[in-house]
Amino acid sequence: MSDGIVISGVALALAESGCQSVVKHGTGAAFEGFGIRRLDRDAFDRGIKVDRARHTPVSFRMAGLVADVLRGAKLNRDAVCGPGTGIISGSQYGCSIVYEMHRRLRDFGRRSIDAIVFAQATHSYPVSACAIEYGLQGPCAAVVGSRTAGMEALLCARDWLVEGRCDRVIVAAYEDLDGPVPDHIRASIGQAGRDVLECMALLCVERSDVALSRRAPVLAELGVIEHLRGDISETEFDLCGGDVLGAVGIADLALMTAGTDAAEAPASVTIRAIDQETGGLATTIQLLRRREAA
Amino acid sequence: MRPVAITGMGVVVRDAIGVPAFAKWVMQGGGLPECPVHIDTSLFRAKKAYAVAPDAVRTALANLLRRNGLSDIGQCDLDCAGHGLLAAAEALEMARLPSELRARCGIALATTSGGMMDRFDDALRAEDAASGTAAVALPGAAAAILSRVIGLHGPIASFSCACSSSPAAFSYALSRLRAGDAPIMLAGGSDRIRAADFAGFNALRAMDRDRCRPFDANRKGMVIGDGAAMLVLEDEDHAHARGAQPLGHLVETGLALDAHHITHPNPQGLARAMRQALAKAGLQPDDVGYVNCHGTGTPVNDRVEAAALASIFTDRARRPLISSTKGATGHLLGTAGAIEALITVLALGAGAAPAMASTEMPEETGFEMPGTDGPRAFEGRYAMSNSLGFGGINGSLIFEAGR
């Protein structure tokens, strides 16, 4: 089923009611039907003086989760430094700092855009910043603009591995609900809808021979990723308890492979991301929780 | 690897809409930048650009949509994706793609601004709610509009990786074709200049006030531009079966990171991308007759790029001709790699690289370059197009002349 592509590490930050900072919008009648939940930004805000030139809130969170995903995959910095490791992100909205830059320019004029702000205001900044921090020199890209962005990023990672461009890829799917993004979500969703959750999910996707050679934990085997077209009747898996927009699919994969009860989960699961405008993507994964490489 | 044919191309820049006019214009060295008509740049240090006039796009697009039997589009869609639609329609027309095949065609779009993120706030104003601005404010909006208007129902993806977005889009399209996910992919880029681009590149002191002089001893920086370039990539057997004549072939791509600095490139990253593309294509550096460089005209970029090229093309006696066409078209940012891919295919077809009209005092790079007064011939069936982006993201594309 797989071309020998496996998931060897996962990391997830998902906004949830109760343990995360929750921003409930709904003062206007038009937006009473759902909430927008944000992740905690305290860690970034505390470190902002030293990190501002190096990190945005998104790249800061991503860099932390890269450390987690590598730890889970039993990899250290030396092992991923070099051309064998690539990185890719997928997000519907991308980085809110991009929208914020345009707002600053409109409100405060040209001098409000300095070199750092401008360089950081690209949707590929988080993956670039992580590449610099960890020395990743493999392929890199940022997919944006649809609910399938995260799954498209996973597809690209799979392509790179199958085509022999690198040995492993860090796949990051996220939504950054800062700045004007929540307003846009509310305007787009209208009066009713599921809660929208800020999320960042990372996978370490590797060629199985590479993972096996270092006796890495193999969490799942990745199947072929297929595009769904036409009248899409399938539904998304929806493990997150809310809408994670462009992180859908990848967040489900992270939850499923990291879940403590995954050993009892079905052996083969189909994960989907569906965008009503541009279509969908689906992949089948075989869960291999607790099956260490021989 | 399954061969991939290029069966159609389309392009929009300030001074030329359509491949025939563009080919003639760019081969002679293009034009000079001017102040855009639709953005007030008077407060910026560097004020000039190669910005497409919206009225020209509106008129050309109306004619093209009518000719192709496509329905008219709203103002927001036109503002967002007008350049891409024009280029895509021309490319599909050139490829003689019947409407039933378009439904199986996918799209891989590179972009900096993609949607109209600079109008994000406008989209939130209540009185603007019915205008459709909200829908086009997202970075993938242009690809979605192209898909909807032209009726493309294959795989769709948008790539926003700064100035290296286009190689990522071409690489994705190549993979979809080779995996058999679609028989035809429209790949390219579409962008429109935003005031923030002027503010940002001026803040970086990366812009020349007058003109872009790639690889010139007196170069001072880039000049930005906008427009679109789209290529119809098609499975070779599929193209052959329907009698389509390839204009050229996309042979391979290479993608690699510097892992060095956000705005300061490192030659090793681009060298890795070129090496990867050559190795996967089964080619030697000697096989490459021409390299269309990223060549932004900034002091650092051109120096680093020349060093990267020298590390790959080590035999000084058999080095390819190199050039940068950003002195002709400006720097189209996310779309730069797409328009330069199209120029590379045109160069392979003509057996000559475009003139570098603004490079009057060429710096010693160790490579031959065209002069200011006309195209320069080169030998070889293969050519390369390179892109470098913020964050050290590099891409290299290899093309072959039409067979």
* B354 DSSP assignment: P
Among B179, B256, B393, the residue with its CB nearest the CB of A83 is B256
Q: Sort A140 into a burial class: Cβ within 10 Å, 0-12 / 13-18 / 19+.
A: buried
Report the distance separating Cα B204 and Cα B209, nearest Å. Answer: 13
Which residues are bridge partners to B399 per DSSP?
B250, B383
Mean pLDDT within B8-13: 98
| Contact assignment for A187 to B129 by CB distance below 8 Å | yes
Side-chain-side CA neighbours of A98 within 13 Å: the count stands at 30
- Output the pLDDT for position A27: 30
Tokens representing B34 are 């001017």
Q: Any chain A CB within 8 A of the CB of B360?
A: no
Is B386:B291 a contact under the CB 8 Å cutoff?
yes
pLDDT digits (tens, 9 = 90+) for A215-238: 998 999 999 999 987 667 777 777
pLDDT digits (tens, 9 = 90+) for A33-88: 678 899 988 888 887 666 677 899 999 999 999 999 999 999 999 999 999 999 99
| Contact assignment for A123 to B140 by CB distance below 8 Å | no
- Output the pLDDT for position A116: 86
Distances from the Cα of B199 to the Cαs of A84, B47, B297, B332, B389, in angstroms?
37, 10, 18, 16, 18
| Contact assignment for A128 to B391 by CB distance below 8 Å | yes
The lowest-confidence range among A185-189, B34-38, B100-104, B240-244 is: A185-189
| Contact assignment for B157 to A143 by CB distance below 8 Å | yes
Report the distance separating Cα A73 and Cα A10, nearest Å. Answer: 8
Complex prediction ipTM? 0.96
pLDDT at B287 over 90: yes
| Contact assignment for A137 to B154 by CB distance below 8 Å | no
Q: What is the dihedral sign for C-alpha B75, B81, B84, B85?
A: negative
Among B156, B159, B200, the residue with its CB nearest the CB of A113 is B200
The H or E element containing residue B85 is helix B75-94
Nearest CA in chain B to A133: B259
Is B200:B113 a contact under the CB 8 Å cutoff?
no
The alpha-carbon gap from B351 to the nearest alpha carbon of chain A, in Å, equals: 31
pLDDT digits (tens, 9 = 90+) for B192-226: 988 888 899 999 999 999 999 999 999 999 999 99
Which residues are bridge partners to A285 per DSSP?
A222, A269
Q: Any chain A CB within 8 A of the CB of B183?
A: no
Report the distance separating Cα B391 and Cα A85, nearest Å. Answer: 16
The SS3 of residue B178 is: helix
| Average pLDDT across chain B, whole number | 93
Among B114, B154, B196, the residue with its CB nearest the CB of A113 is B196
What are the chain A neighbours of B195 within 8 Å (beta carbons)? 105, 110
- Output the pLDDT for position A20: 35
Mean pLDDT within A128-134: 97
The SS3 of residue B131 is: helix
A104 vs B349 pLDDT, higher one: B349
The catalytic residue positions of B are 163, 294, 331
